[in-house]
Structure 1
């Protein structure tokens, strides 16, 4: 896993997804070298870069041009430019144009999460994995409901991570935002 400080960051673009969370997301995603990964709401590119180290190809989408620029800088820094296709645009529009993929990562949805999950499910290959990261309670509920409507079984893991900060008197634990990792697998339908 890449350390958080090894990513180029900006105050205008959220991220990167924290190292420990990226580790859990990669564990749930089970990305192999044959997989095509779609990263919706790529932000600074934390999950894009981690996925590109494992996948055949990563398609990273964000409607914020600054996020696309920052993700590109991080991809170049980590020498993964040939494995990533960056698309600036609205995820719902872009999803209509894409071919199928094996893993769908959703970090940002601009309020369109149920529609992104539904449209993404249509393009997700069988045994494809869907992983959503959420810091908002409402997003957790939307994700679980949307997944259930597609007859998938959601798995929800919530993590709270604290990292030590050395002070004059000792090590103080600094809490980070709790985050839910919601995942599901698209199974082949049986007649």
Structure 2
């Protein structure tokens, strides 16, 4: 018989939560591997027992050396934030078979009587508070597996700091044990609760903290944004810029020289599964961007404070880049972007001076990009005048560069 490793999930109800086939496989195993809680469910098991440590490489080495049938016990579903992913990366798939059970997140949703098919599932284990909260605010329903650092209280504090506390909160602790407790509260209520180490935090959006819901549209009027007067991409230019970027739902976008954040905010609705990094160095603009992100409930926009290109090093590689301002560092920024831009990536740069136009097109030509320049001349009627007269804005050169 060929070697087989069964990865079996333990339900929250203890041994009675296993199905008949799972119990048969466990009984036949010559080696039983699992956490202390899972191994304790089978005190009479005759095989060799091995407790899982934080060093999963040791478990892989052990499994590679075993010729008999082995069972790895884990909690819930082995492929849901569990050991299954690691084993698949490090062992032949033909040797593995997974037997799932009810996960702690499923059990928690059942307890609060809430459907979970429209929720996102987030693990804070080793991923950092900011990334976890970024995903929470991008969704209306989330289940979070917390850890000793990224606690429910810490997550709540970050949500409050961002002005995104409009969630009902369900703290589901010690599920399946005699100490099981489920507390229904809100985000601010979590600040006063010392949570048990084993918990699932469920957050369900009830309202936007600002109390005003904006319907996603292209071309938000300029006056809706808090901005330094001349540091905003005008409404019509913004719409054309977004069209030239050719955004898809899951892309990563850098918005360099974000100004008011208007391009990032409108792109947010076009990238529901993407990530947007609004880069700005001007302290006055930074505060305006924060105000605008809160006002428009931007979900996928992260503000990056600093001067490009130095502050770009820590960002994930982009598929799209918009450059609204360069602060005199145009050539260095373009070089840094070119080094990081994905294959078939696209850069859109808005210029109002001939110096920027010629400098950018020269760089793109030398770097082998396909370049298109669109000149946008916008005139609007003057409001509150006796005669309908047009007032012209300065022309804007929209430079679109596609990487070959």
Structure-2-length-normalised TM-score = 0.44
Q: Which residue of 1 aligns with 2:284?
A: 66
Residue 168 of structure 1 and its aligned partner are, at CA, apart by 4.4
- Residue by residue over 1:54-91, the C-alpha shift from the partner in whole angstroms, topping out at 9 and shown as x without a partner, is 121110111112212111111111111x3111111111
Distance 1:94 1:135 in 2: 24
Residue 129 of structure 1 and its aligned partner are, at CA, apart by 1.0
Q: Which residue of 2 aligns with 1:10?
A: 228
> Which residue of the other structure, out of 324, 336, 339, is the alignment partner of 1:122?
339
Distance 1:153 1:114 in 2: 18
Distance 1:168 1:124 in 2: 48
Q: Which residue of 2 aligns with 1:49?
A: 265
Residue 167 of structure 1 and its aligned partner are, at CA, apart by 4.9
Distance 1:172 1:26 in 2: 29
More strand by share: 1
Residue 130 of structure 1 and its aligned partner are, at CA, apart by 0.1
Q: Which residue of 1 aligns with 2:295?
A: 77
Distance 1:111 1:96 in 2: 19
Distance 2:290 2:247 in 1: 21
Report the number of matched residues. Answer: 184
Asked if 1:100 is matched to 2:317, the reply is yes
The alignment partner of 2:254 has SS state of strand
Distance 1:63 1:167 in 2: 36
Distance 1:123 1:52 in 2: 22
The alignment partner of 1:154 has SS state of strand
Structure 2: gaps spanning 5 or more residues: 1-217
- Residue by residue over 1:110-147, the C-alpha shift from the partner in whole angstroms, topping out at 9 and shown as x without a partner, is 11112211110111111211000000110000100111
Q: Which residue of 2 aligns with 1:162?
A: 379
Distance 1:53 1:181 in 2: 22
Structure-1-length-normalised TM-score = 0.91
Structure number with the bigger relative contact order (C-alpha 8 A, sep ≥ 6) is: 1
Is the CA contact (8 Å cut-off) linking 1:40 and 1:62 kept in structure 2? yes
> Over aligned residue pairs, what C-alpha RMSD do you find?
1.3
Runs of 4+ residues over 4 Å off in structure 1: none
